[in-house]
Structure formats: C-alpha cells, structure tokens
Chains A and B, each alone.
Chain A
Amino acid sequence: MSAEESPSLGTNIEGDAPDVERAVEADETTYTEDADLERTLGLPGGLAIGVGTMIGAGIFVFPGLAAGRAGPAAAGSFALGGLVALLVALPTSELATAMPKSGGGYYFISRGLGTLAGTVVGLSLWFGLVFATAFYLVGFGFYVVDTFAELGITLGSGLVIPIALVFGVGFTVLNVTGTENAAKLQNAVVALLLSILVVVLAWGSADALGVIGPASPPERFLPFGPFPVLTTAALVFTSYLGFAQVATVAGEMKRPGRNLPLAMVGSVVVVGILYVVTIFVATSAFGSVELASLGETAMVDVGRHYLGDVGALAIVFGGLLATMSSANASILSTSRAVYAVSKDALLPRWASRINLRYGTPHVALGLAGGPILVLVATGRVEVLAEVASFLHLVLYGLICVALLVLRRDEPDWYDPDFRTPGYPVVPVVGALASFALIGFMQPLSQIIGVGVMLATAGWYAYYARDVSLKGALS
C-alpha cells in the first residue's frame, strides 16, 4: 500500500502507489495473499446485468426519437448499433477473461495502453455512466407520468424531472443502505420484462406482417436518405451500453472464462434482436412521423394499438421496470468504476471507502448520485444519451486498441480463456466503427464529450503523472 512496497509503479501527488495485489483467479474464488474473495455471480446474473441495463433505454425510450430521425430505417440504426456492440463485445470478452477484475474496460486499457489512457477512460467511464444513469432516470420519469395517465390521473410532463430527481435520490440512498437480494430481484425483473416484450412483439409482428388483420401499406424505408441512419445509430448506441457493465463485475463472476463471453455476447445478441423487432413493429403500427410525435413513451401507444388497454398497461409497466433496472444497475457500476480508479491511485483513496455499518461504498455511490441529479435536472434526454454514448464509444474503441497492443506484445501474464474470433479484423473494425459513430453525433454532445476527456487528462497531469500501470499485473 505504501510507496516502498511497489516503487516501480510510481506514486500520485499524495504519495499513494497503485495497490497491485498478487492474486490467483480460480473459478469460484480469487485467492489473494491475505484473503479469499468469493465469486458470487453466475451466468444468469451476468446476463441479467447485461440485458437489464440495455433493455430499458433502447426499447422504451428510443423508438419515437429514432423513428423521427431515420424513418422506418431506424431499425437499421439499431441493427448497426448492435453490430458495433458485438464487434466490441468480442474483444472485451477476451480481455475480461484474461483480466477478470473489477473495473472492466478501464482495467484493460490502463494495463494495455498505460496510465494516461487509463485515467482518461476510467474517469470518462464514471462520467459516462453518470450521463447514462441520468438519461435512464429521465426516461423513468416519463414512464411514471404515463403510468398515472393510464390510470386516469393526469400529472403533466412538468413533473417528469422532479420525479426523476426523487428516484435518483432514492436509488442512491437504497444502494448506500444496502439492498439485500436485489440481484435476484433484478433477475426476476428482467425475466418478467422479456416475457412482456416477447408477447407484445410477437403479436405486433404477426399483425405487421399481415398474418392477422389487414396488412399495412409499406412506408418508404429511407425517407431521409442513409445519413440519418448513421446519426441515429450514434444516438441509440446508448441502448447497448449494458454489455460493458458485465465486464465491470468480472471480478465477481464465477467461471469467468466461460461466463463472461457468454454473458456479454449473449446479452448483445438478445437485446439487439429485440430492438430491431421492436422498431419494426413500432413503425408498422404507426407511420414514423406519427411515432415521432409520440415522444419518449411512444411504445405505450404501440402496445395499445395492438393489444388495447392491456397492451398499453403492459408496456407502461415494462417501461417502469426497465428504466428503473437500468438506472439502478448503472449506479452500481459507477461505484465500481470509481473503486477501480481509486485503487490504482488515480483518485484519492477515500473515494473508494466503504462503511462497516452497511458494508457499502458510500463515497463512490455519492460521487455517482450527486452528478446524476445535476444532469437529470437539465432534462435533455438526447444530449444525455449521446454524451453517455460518446464516452463509452471512446472506451470501446480503446478496448479494441488495447487488445491489438496486448496481442502484439503478448506479455507473460496475458492468458485469456476466450480468444476473439476473426482477429485482427474484428478489433480493428470494432475500433474504427466505435470512433466513427462519434462523428455522427450532435455538435453539443461532441463538445461536452471532448470537454470531459480533456478535463480527465488534466486531472492525470495534475494528480497522477508519475503513476505507472502499463502491464502492472501479477
């Protein structure tokens, strides 16, 4: 813990060196020098984190927004986003099985590309999750208002932000004071959600394809040309941010060599298929112009179109569950990101303290909750989503680069259980696609994203210039 023990790693401005522990990773347990760390998450838990985080935003908030921008081809935007996610999920899986530690993408990049890239990515990941959580919470606010509307109580959209703020505080407090069995609850929520969606979508697809009822006249697939498909893909990429969350809990997953790739790739595939079908069904129910006018909760009207009030209620309920589980999962991941960075002496040690009363990392959770509330207050759904995407896309691109670098050097400790198929094409295309998607965002999101990255680089120069992490793995 002190500088004397590991002089080669350097110290930050406070004299702390990274805490690099000799550890043996077994399937069920990590053995360190002074304690055993039980691995507690199975494959269902990993899939639930991936699917649960992704499904909220994409299906329940984006259809209206995406259709307004790209027309029926919004389905193509989602497919493109899913493809990029898959190209990144494969390299991420390989790195996660080689380094099954808390921190996920940050960990891989700091070990593969060094401290500067690590700091920028680690802190950006924290901010990225903060932006994503704020986005989920605002979506949740819309769904609460709609739930009451379905029950005949009009709250008006003015209450969306206050509701989102209240629940943001609620989730943070809940996470600090401890939520026993929340993982099991999350699994149940995700299972319920998938059932609801599959029923609505199966019915909707049957109808849209003319199996039941009259066939709807096909709309022009690309009313605005191909360019909006790309910009929309950049926007909706937020829907796929969940698979990286699986990597942040890599240190807690049983049989990481098998379960990490399955959970990451599996959740991207499941969610990607659901998204594409959803958009297809949604744009078949209404024209894309009408769909766009329905806004953040357009899916409720899609549900009503096919299954009447029952369908609307099912979707409203699903939307509540989904946005809630996304927000909660992201707050959890944020505190892990803060921990991973602070353990490496890139943030002060106190940022990752946990309290004995509840056993929770209250400082890190506070560092997540505070900024989230500020961002929620802005209420800018699209910008929040895009900045979250921006910061994650940088992370994803660099993960692919880290894989290329590590594979070229192949240090002794690098021994992944899973190897990316199609290497080196997959990581190269994954990196290029990730960086390219950033180019299709609104200027405001790009400016905020670049600003965040510059700020994190400035923090590195000020605080942790002398810390060395590259290849620091035992």
Chain B
Amino acid sequence: MTRVVVPVAVLENQAVSLGLVDLLGTMDVTVMGYHVLPEQTPPDQARHQYSDRANEALADIAAEFRDAGGAADYRLVFTDDKHASVRRIADEVGARSYVIPGATGTIDRLLVSLSGDVAADRILEFVTDLVGDREIQVTLLRVGGDEGDTSLAAAQSQLAAAGIDAQTVSATASNPLDAVVAAVPDHDAIVMGEHAPSLRSFLFGDITDRVAEESVGPVLVVRRDPPASE
C-alpha cells in the first residue's frame, strides 16, 4: 500500500486531527515524532531525557492510524532541521507523500493542486489511492494558462477512470500559492506536489509550508522523486 509520513511535533503536544486520521485510513502511515533542538543541545542529550515519553505518545498515535485502516509504525527524531529529517525518513520508508498536519474536522472535500512544476501523474495516482471508493469530493486546480504535461481535462478523466468524480477549476491568480489559498475555503484538506527548491523557497520557505500556514487545514505533499525503496 502507499505509505505516508506524518510528522508530529510530539513534545510540543501537537495532536493529529481525527479527520486526518480517517482520511489516511486507506494508506500505510509512518508517524514521525520529531523535536527540533537548538544548537546548544546535543541531540543525544534530548533523547536521553525524552525518548521514553515521546515514544509512548507516538505508539498511541500510531495505534489510532491502525484503527482507521492501514498499517502504521512510528519513528522518533531529534533534529535541528525538520525538513531534512522528513525527507530522510520518507526516503527510508519509501513514502509517496508526507503530511503537514493541520486542524480539521471530517474531510469531505479535497483540493488537489496541479499548478507549478509538479509531477501531475504522481499526484493523481496518489489521490486515487487516497480516496479509494469513499465519497470524497475532489477539486482539481491549476493556474490559468499554466497547462503542464497533463491538462485539467485529462486529469479529470484519469480520476474518473478510477471512479472518482472531480471538478476542475482554472484559477486566475497570478501564482500557485495565491490560487491554492483562494480556493481553500470550500475544502478540508489540500494535496499538492513537492516543488523543486528555488531562490524563492529559500527566502520565503517551501510553498507547501506557506500553503499550510495560510490554509490552517492539513496539506498532503506528494514527493517528487520516486521512493528509493519499498
């Protein structure tokens, strides 16, 4: 089954919303508990003091995901760079996607962004696996004029072939970030592709993080590179 990494700031009492747990019921999940450390603190020192507590909490969260459907395990990481750790773990467990957990209730409506330089096929495959045979509405979004390899219509029919009814929206905003954020109000969660690092993302942060910040709800990020192993 497709695997998803769910990073949780476990020592900062971050919780995973029930809506997200249900949504990921069709997936295998690796819960990645992490704690970001300042440089004054050797990672080993934090492990020494907090790993028992953190692992207990992670075992509970993983159990919730198992109850929702898929297989679930957990890892604990002490790091000073959350993003690097998420990518490493995703590679190691062969995850197709990672999540930026946000607050949400039941997830009925999914916004899928195909804008920008992303692998549309991989995103659509992931959405197909994620939705499965459930009644979840899907909106496909692309910024107007930005027709990549896969057109919105082709994407729509690809999903239809898997039994998923999707609306399409061609946004008029000038950039993917604004377009996604503008379309958020009618949706509970967002699926988008991982973007290549750029000067822009270096200065302002990853676009996926900024979408997550602006949209409050969870963002599922489909990874660019094929998983190294499965």
Residues of chain A at the chain B interface (Cβ within 8 Å): 19, 28-30, 32, 34-38, 40, 101-102, 175-176, 178-180, 182-183, 249, 251-252, 332, 335-336, 339, 343, 352-354, 356, 358-361, 365
Complexed CA–CA distance, A107 and B55 (Å): 28
A251 and B52: CB pair below 8 A?
Answer: no
B11 and A339: CB pair below 8 A?
Answer: no
B37: A residues at CB distance < 8 A: 359
Decide if B78 is an interface residue (CB 8 Å cutoff). Answer: yes
A339 and B45: CB pair below 8 A?
Answer: yes
Find the residue from B39, B54, B81 having the highest chain A CB count within 10 A: B39
A359: B residues at CB distance < 8 A: 35-38, 40-41, 46
B38 and A179: CB pair below 8 A?
Answer: yes
Decide if B2 is an interface residue (CB 8 Å cutoff). Answer: no
B81 and A38: CB pair below 8 A?
Answer: yes
Given contacts A343-B44, A354-B46, 19 further A-B contacts (CB under 8 A): A19-B48, A34-B55, A34-B76, A35-B47, A35-B77, A38-B80, A40-B43, A101-B44, A175-B40, A183-B39, A332-B40, A339-B42, A339-B45, A343-B45, A352-B45, A352-B49, A359-B36, A359-B37, A359-B40
Complexed CA–CA distance, A40 and B36 (Å): 11
A37: B residues at CB distance < 8 A: 43-44, 47, 77-79
Min CB gap A247→B, angstroms: 13
A179 and B40: CB pair below 8 A?
Answer: yes
Residue of A nearest to B35 (CB): A359
Min CB gap A383→B, angstroms: 29
Q: A36-B78, A40-B79, A40-B80 are in contact. Are A358 and B47 (CB under 8 A)?
A: no
Find the residue from A34, A101, A102, A251 having the highest chain B CB count within 10 A: A34
B55 and A180: CB pair below 8 A?
Answer: no
B44 and A354: CB pair below 8 A?
Answer: no
Complexed CA–CA distance, A182 and B79 (Å): 16
Decide if B161 is an interface residue (CB 8 Å cutoff). Answer: no
Min CB gap B93→A, angstroms: 12
Min CB gap B128→A, angstroms: 32
Min CB gap A30→B, angstroms: 7
B47 and A354: CB pair below 8 A?
Answer: no
B46: A residues at CB distance < 8 A: 354, 359
A360 and B41: CB pair below 8 A?
Answer: yes
Q: A29-B88, A353-B49, A356-B11 are in contact. Are A365 and B77 (CB under 8 A)?
A: no
Complexed CA–CA distance, A341 and B42 (Å): 13
B76 and A36: CB pair below 8 A?
Answer: yes
Complexed CA–CA distance, A354 and B78 (Å): 13
Q: A35-B47, A354-B49 are in contact. Are A252 and B76 (CB under 8 A)?
A: no
Contact of A34 among B40, B45, B51, B89 (CB under 8 A): B51
Complexed CA–CA distance, A297 and B115 (Å): 60
B84 and A38: CB pair below 8 A?
Answer: yes
Residue of B nearest to A360 (CB): B40
On chain B, which size bracket covers the interface?
20 to 34
A354 and B11: CB pair below 8 A?
Answer: no
Contact of A179 among B39, B42, B50, B76 (CB under 8 A): B39
B122: A residues at CB distance < 8 A: none
Decide if B137 is an interface residue (CB 8 Å cutoff). Answer: no
Residues of chain B at the chain A interface (Cβ within 8 Å): 11, 35-52, 54-55, 75-81, 84-85, 88-89
A251 and B40: CB pair below 8 A?
Answer: no
Contact of B76 among A35, A40, A332 (CB under 8 A): A35
B43: A residues at CB distance < 8 A: 30, 37-38, 40, 251-252
A178 and B40: CB pair below 8 A?
Answer: yes
Residue of A nearest to B46 (CB): A354
Q: A19-B48, A29-B88, A343-B48 are in contact. Are A38 and B40 (CB under 8 A)?
A: no
Residue of A nearest to B55 (CB): A34
Complexed CA–CA distance, A36 and B85 (Å): 9
Min CB gap A449→B, angstroms: 27
Complexed CA–CA distance, A361 and B37 (Å): 11
B44: A residues at CB distance < 8 A: 30, 32, 37, 101-102, 251, 343
A178: B residues at CB distance < 8 A: 38, 40
Complexed CA–CA distance, A356 and B38 (Å): 11
Complexed CA–CA distance, A246 and B8 (Å): 32
Contact of B39 among A28, A34, A332 (CB under 8 A): A332
A356: B residues at CB distance < 8 A: 11, 50
B45 and A361: CB pair below 8 A?
Answer: yes
A32 and B47: CB pair below 8 A?
Answer: yes
Complexed CA–CA distance, A30 and B37 (Å): 15
Find the residue from B35, B47, B49, B77 having the highest chain A CB count within 10 A: B47
Complexed CA–CA distance, A235 and B72 (Å): 60
- Provide a sorted-by-A list of 5 A–B residue pairs whose CB atoms are within 8 angstroms: A34-B55, A35-B77, A36-B76, A38-B88, A358-B38
B54 and A354: CB pair below 8 A?
Answer: no
Contact of B40 among A32, A353, A365 (CB under 8 A): A365
Min CB gap A327→B, angstroms: 14
Find the residue from A35, A182, A359, A360 having the highest chain B CB count within 10 A: A35
Min CB gap A5→B, angstroms: 13
A102 and B55: CB pair below 8 A?
Answer: no
